[in-house]
């Protein structure tokens, strides 16, 4: 009997954690009740934990409504999305025609198919909107983009049957977390310099005050016995915010960035509310603690 395909991220997403999964899986608690991820993005860690059989229930959230709608559409009617995608040709002319369509004028399945198609065929897989909230990335010119990976979409739909999806702020998403639950925060990263910019995650950005609020929520969750883990940039500001917790510095590849000079290995921090010890080959990725 052929095994069912295992789910993996169906969208390319700036800041995605696929390249760091070995470290994240090692650092995550071995057992937990409900898994929470308030900055869902591509959901790499959720799908990896699901593949390992470690997900019982999950609460997955993001403030990006278009993104959460994509997950909801796959969760509730993946075949409707597949039927639309199956009709889409791969061509530059079709790409720009579809890009100009107002997504909010479309039924859900068509809106999500549009998002997947543009995400898989746009330049560098970069999700970016302008100040008006309009997707504005140019055509990518790939030889064979895999926007018709229907086996994975169906696997994603199966995994999402274990999840509750929430379009809300990170505070709201984790409001019900209890002792023994596991929360993973992967927020927009604090800039490495004054001139650095966040990838356009959502209109309004995620500034210094948001980082401080996130640290407060992290601390409050930890105080009531929730397992909490966070990824962020390796800056003095972030290290100071989480000085009372375990901070591990890791080298993280970056493949999706509008600036080619910022792709490649960078150091970032992994913060946990509990002690972490990376064993074996993972020690190579640990700079210090």
For the beta carbon of residue 156, count every other beta carbon within 10 angstroms: 25
Contacts for 262-268 with beta carbons within 8 Å, 24 or more apart? 266/234, 267/234, 268/189, 268/231, 268/232, 268/233, 268/234
- Domain boundaries along the sequence of the chain: 18-63+168-287, 70-155
Beta strands in 199-282 (DSSP E): 227-233, 246-252, 266-272
The pLDDT confidence band at residue 212, using thresholds 50, 70 and 90, is very high
Q: What angle do CA 201, 178, 33 make, to 5 degrees?
A: 85
Could you tell me which of 252, 138, 88, 92 has the C-alpha nearest to residue 186? Answer: 252
pTM, two decimals, is: 0.89
The residue assigned the tokens 């959720």 is: 46
Which CATH number applies to 18-63+168-287?
Answer: 3.40.50.150
Beta strands in the chain (DSSP E): 34-37, 57-62, 163-167, 182-185, 227-233, 246-252, 266-272
Sheet of 227-233, strands arranged across? 163-167, 57-62, 34-37, 182-185, 227-233, 266-272, 246-252
The pLDDT mean for the chain works out to 88
Q: How far apart are CA 230 and CA 207, in angstroms?
A: 16
pLDDT for the residue numbered 132 = 79
State the SS3 of 66-100.
Answer: HHHHHHHHHHHHHHHHHHHHCCCCCCHHHHHHHHC
pLDDT for the residue numbered 284 = 45
pLDDT for the residue numbered 194 = 57
pLDDT for the residue numbered 282 = 58
pLDDT for the residue numbered 35 = 98
Q: Is the dihedral of CA 78, 84, 86, 88 positive or negative?
A: negative
The pLDDT confidence band at residue 201, using thresholds 50, 70 and 90, is very low
Residue 121 DSSP SS3: helix
> What is the CATH T-level fold of the domain 70-155, as seen in this structure?
Adenine-specific Methyltransferase; domain 2 (1.10.1020)
User: Which range (4-8, 247-251, 279-283) has the least confidence?
Assistant: 279-283
Q: What is the mean pLDDT of residues 100-122?
A: 96
pLDDT for the residue numbered 256 = 47
């Amino acid at each position: 009997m052929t095994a069912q395909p295992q789910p993996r991220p169906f969208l390319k997403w700036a800041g995605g954690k696929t390249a760091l999964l070995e470290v994240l899986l090692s650092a995550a608690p071995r057992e937990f009740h409900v898994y929470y991820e308030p900055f869902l993005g591509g959901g790499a860690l959720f799908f990896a934990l699901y593949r390992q059989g470690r997900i019982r229930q999950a609460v997955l959230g993001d403030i990006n409504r278009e993104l959460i709608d994509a997950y909801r559409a796959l969760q509730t009617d993946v075949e409707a999305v597949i039927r639309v995608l199956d009709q889409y040709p791969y061509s530059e002319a079709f790409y720009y025609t579809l890009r100009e369509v107002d997504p909010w004028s479309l039924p859900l399945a068509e809106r999500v198919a549009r998002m997947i198609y543009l995400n898989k065929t746009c330049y560098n897989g970069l999700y970016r909107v302008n100040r008006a909230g309009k997707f504005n990335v140019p055509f990518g010119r790939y030889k064979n983009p895999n926007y018709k990976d229907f086996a994975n979409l169906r696997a994603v739909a199966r995994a999402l049957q274990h999840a509750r999806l929430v379009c809300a702020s990170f505070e709201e998403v984790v409001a019900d977390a209890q002792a023994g639950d596991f929360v993973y925060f992967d927020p927009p990263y604090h800039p490495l310099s004054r001139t650095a910019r966040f990838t356009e995650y959502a209109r309004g950005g995620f500034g210094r005050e948001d980082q401080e609020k996130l640290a407060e929520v992290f601390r409050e969750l930890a105080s009531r016995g929730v397992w909490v883990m966070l990824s962020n940039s390796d800056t003095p500001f972030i290290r100071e915010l989480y000085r009372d917790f375990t901070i591990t510095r890791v080298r993280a590849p970056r493949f999706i960035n509008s600036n080619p000079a910022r792709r490649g290995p960078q150091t970032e921090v992994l913060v946990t509310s509990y002690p972490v010890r990376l064993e074996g080959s993972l020690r190579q990725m640990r700079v210090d603690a």
